[in-house]
Structure 1
Amino acid sequence: MKKVIMICVLGAMSLFADPATIIKTKCASCHGANMEKVALGKSAVVNKMSASEIEEALKGYKAKTLNKHGLGGTMWGQAGALSDADIAEIAKYITTNLNK
């Protein structure tokens, strides 16, 4: 019973992941704290993209159908665990809170 409760708690935590925390832990090392960097010298600057462009890219990486700039292998791992709600929140957070 304790295992089931713990799994439910951990699952619920991932459903309500804070976009700032996701960006800090999954994105900032390559894209910068404000998503201002050209990751690995190849990517677009994310904070210059629209929310719909960010969502489309993250969903493509999550589905492993996008390999833009040859960064698919890296991004597939980063986006793979994100829910569609996480992706929407990340896109909204970047476009409303980070420097452009």
Structure 2
Amino acid sequence: MKRWIMTLGLLASASLMAADGAALYQKCLSCHGANAEKKALGKSEVIANWSVEKNVAALKGYKDGTYGGPMKALMKGQVANYSDQEIQAVSEYITGLKN
């Protein structure tokens, strides 16, 4: 019984700590649009139809400085504090947006 309660507690904690892609995307929508339909500041690609994998690769690349064009420095600052879990969550959210 005690083991079951501990397991339940761990699962509850993990779900509370799970990244919220919609909340993470809030700082993106002013440049990328509510549905990721805009070219950010007229310089980026529209990210609305990107796959989760492409979004993850781009965001991780921005974070470590290996990806990006004219918006590289701006985007690096935007994702610098994102964990891998948060990058995954926001990427899944973006891919799920409807245009």
Scaled to the shorter chain, the TM-score interval is 0.7 to 0.9
CA offset at residue 30 of structure 1? 0.4
- Structure 1 equivalent of residue 5 of structure 2: none
Percent identity over the alignment is 45
List alignment gaps of at least 5 residues for structure 1. Answer: 1-11
Q: Note the residue ranges of structure 2 that are not aligned, 5 or more in a row.
A: 1-13
TM-score calculated relative to the size of structure 2: 0.77
More helix by share: 1
Max radius of gyration: which structure? Answer: 2
**How many angstroms does 1:84 deviate by?**
0.5
Report the counterpart of residue 99 of structure 1 in structure 2.
98
Matched, 1:83 2:83: yes
Greater than 3 Å deviation, 4+ residue runs: none
Structure 2 counterparts to residues 14-93 of structure 1, below 5 A = 16-24=18-26, 26-68=27-69, 70-93=70-93
Contact 2:65 2:72 in 1 (8 A): yes
Q: How many residues align?
A: 84
**Residue in 2 aligned with 1:4?**
none
CA contact (8 A) 1:31 1:39 kept: yes
Deviations 1:12-66 (CA, angstroms, capped at 9, x unpaired): 9xx5331101111x20110011111010111111111111110000000010122
Bigger RCO of structures 1 and 2 (CA < 8 A, at least 6 apart): 2
TM-score, length-scaled by structure 1: 0.76
Match of 2:11 in 1: none
Please tell me whether the aligned partners of residues 59 and 87 of structure 1 are also in contact (alpha carbons under 8 angstroms): yes
